Amino acid sequence: MEDRDLHCQIMSDLDTLKLSKNFIICSNLFLKKWKGQARFIEYFSNQWLESKNCWYEELEMHVPSTNNSLEATNRVIKDEDTLRERIVYFQL
């Protein structure tokens, strides 16, 4: 997409869509709103609504949408259970 404002508007709508309480209705409204962007709508429909259709928040309610807790656990394992030593860098 070449128009930066248009890109920002679509990205904002996608952020709203992924958090919507009724994804099916909202995705239909999203498609209607952006039907003038035929290439994007075709890509979005094929890739994100048909092929990879498990990306929105409503799908897994009450489950974290990030892997922060997993990364924190990995950090503890690395810090406490490995023999890795950190190299201290001094900035001149």
- Residues 50-77 have pLDDT tens digits of 877 677 776 666 666 666 777 888 888 8
pLDDT of residue 1: 47
pLDDT of residue 63: 67
- Does residue 24 carry a pLDDT above 70? yes
Instruction: Give me the torsion for CA of 28, 33, 37, 40, rounded to 10°.
Output: -40
Average pLDDT over residues 8-12: 94
b vs e for 28-41, b when ≥16 Cβ sit within 10 Å of the residue's Cβ?
eebeeebeeeeeeb
Q: What is the pTM of this model?
A: 0.60
pLDDT of residue 19: 84
